[in-house]
């Protein structure tokens, strides 16, 4: 069975500090992983995909197959980064979402 685990429900960091949101997955096949973000009272938006190896809004995420992780990182957090972040595993055409991490950036 596939599963996505986000161990932190809440995470607070100070503005300018580095931030890392953890995501671990369990999947027997070759994983495709994504991060989605949901700002307050807004719809979920795709943040980044591991296959694109892109950096969006200063965030990056590296797939580590050995540790089965796909942690989201940003070197300097900004207040506008405060949001709910969901890690998601794609199997077929379906996503399995983690339970989310609520990030608060303290001014």
Chain positions contacting other proteins, by CB under 8 A: 6, 9, 32, 34, 36, 42-46, 49, 51, 86, 90, 92-100
Tokens of 20: 């890392």
**What is the closest distance, in whole angstroms, from the C-beta atom of residue 16 to other proteins in the complex?**
29
Nearer to other proteins, 78 or 95 (CB): 95
Cβ proximity to other proteins: between 50 and 73 the closer is: 50
Cα 17 to the center of its chain, rounded Å:
17
Q: Which is nearer to other proteins, 5 or 78 (by Cβ)?
A: 5
Minimum Å gap between C-beta 105 and other proteins is: 21
Number of H helices, E strands in the chain: 0, 11
Of the pair 41, 66, the CB lying nearest other proteins is at: 41
Q: How far is the CB of 55 from other proteins (least distance, A)?
A: 16
Asked if 77 contacts 17 with a C-beta cutoff of 8 angstroms, the reply is yes
Which residues, 6 or more positions from 12, have their beta carbon under 8 angstroms from its beta carbon?
103, 104, 105, 106
Q: Write out the two tokens for 11.
A: 């995470």
């Amino acid at each position: 069975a596939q599963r996505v685990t986000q161990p932190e429900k809440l995470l607070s960091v100070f503005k300018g500090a580095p931030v890392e949101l953890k995501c671990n997955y369990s999947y027997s096949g070759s994983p495709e992983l994504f991060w989605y973000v949901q700002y307050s009272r807004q719809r979920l938006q795709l943040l980044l995909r591991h296959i694109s190896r892109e950096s969006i809004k200063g965030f990056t995420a590296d797939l580590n197959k050995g540790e089965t992780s796909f942690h989201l990182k940003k070197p300097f957090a900004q207040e506008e980064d405060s949001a709910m972040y969901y890690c998601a595993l794609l199997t077929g055409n379906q996503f399995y979402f983690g339970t989310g991490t609520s990030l608060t950036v303290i001014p």
